[in-house]
Amino acid sequence: MYTLGEFIIKNRHHFSYSVESLLRLFSCIKLASKAIHKEVNKAGLTEELIGSSGIINIQGETQQKLDCFAHNVFIQSFKSRNVVCGIASEESKNFIVIENKQENIVKNQYIVLIDPLDGSSNIDVNVSIGTIFSVYIRKSSIQESITINDFLRKGSEQILAGYIIYGSSTILVYSTGSGVHGFTLDPSFGTFYLSHPNLRFPKNGKMYSINEGNYAKFSKGIKKFLRFCQNIDKKKIQPYTARYIGSLVGDFHRNMIQGGIYIYPKTAFSPKGKLRLLYECNPIAFLTEQAGGRAIDGKNRILDIQPKELHQRTPFICGPTEIVSKLEEFIVNYE
């Protein structure tokens, strides 16, 4: 089995930037993810990382203690490796500048946007949670300070995106634009081994993931699509099955492996959607397309959206091309 590092070196011809810097970048991600893996696996034995921290974050949501831990461990890990020049986190109001330790100026090329702990409301009930990350090459020159424009980028400009899911096993999934690959952590060695090469959406997936508790707030097109998923046609074909975890990473990971569509649409109360474009939707959309699927906000390709603010929200739909296009038909015809 290939380790993550061995796999990156073997496939370095697919990456147009320095493979050494990519390995250092992944070193940061692996170190932080293993620290979170350790805390997640013992969370039920201690109250130190269980429950609310009592802090309201920039999203207007109550931070969980493990949210704060994950945010801090990723920031410290990136700072220590001298490879990232700026970080934006879902848990921080503003972006963070990382200076070059040797010269006290910002010379590194990578910009990282991260959701340190996706699905944190599931922590206390032992359900899968995850980390989502997105990487760009800075737009500003190395002689200048990084600016907000280094972060407000279309998802199509990503050079790397991925996630870590902390579940029955800890799996790191990533793409540099040449397919999607998954690596499972062997905790006895602390090493990520290739376990899911060349992930692709199954063409005949029969699952849909949506919070149907919001049904009354959905648009007519979404309601019509859900009825389509639930009805048995004249050929007695089984209807689609509803599966919803409430963690984007958890739902997406299952759907990519088993085949299904993820839907977080706009509602009457959230007309701009609720998921964060930069920290959640762009990286997952990048993976979706690399796995042979589509990702849209209902009408537009997610990766073509030009963000206007750091914590911008959007409706989000992703999954196999055929079923996403079917949902798009309902939206166009009924809205």
What percent of the chain shows pLDDT beyond 90? 70
What is the DSSP secondary-structure string of 79-148? HHTT-EEEEEETT-SS-EE---TTTSS----EEEEEEEEETGGGGGGT--EEEEEEEEE-SS-TTS---G
**pLDDT at residue number 53:** 58
Which range is least confidently modeled, 18-22, 147-151, 294-298? 18-22
The 10s digit of each residue's pLDDT in 135-176 is 999 998 877 889 999 999 999 999 999 999 998 899 999 999
CATH for 4-196 is 3.30.540.10
Tell me the C-alpha to C-alpha distance, in Å, between residue 128 and each of 108, 116, 250, 292, 308.
34, 14, 6, 24, 31
Contacts with 242 (C-beta within 8 Å, 6 or more apart), sequence order: 207, 208, 209, 210, 212, 229
**pLDDT at residue number 44:** 59
The 10s digit of each residue's pLDDT in 181-218 is 999 999 999 999 999 999 999 987 889 999 999 999 99
**pLDDT at residue number 140:** 85
The 10s digit of each residue's pLDDT in 93-115 is 999 998 765 665 556 889 999 99
Looking at domain 207-334, which of 3.40.1110.10, 3.40.50.300, 3.40.190.80, 3.60.21.10 is its CATH number? 3.40.190.80
Taking a C-beta distance cutoff of 8 angstroms, is the pair 267, 217 a contact? Answer: yes
Domain positions in the chain are 4-196, 207-334
What percent of the chain shows pLDDT beyond 70? 90
**pLDDT at residue number 243:** 94
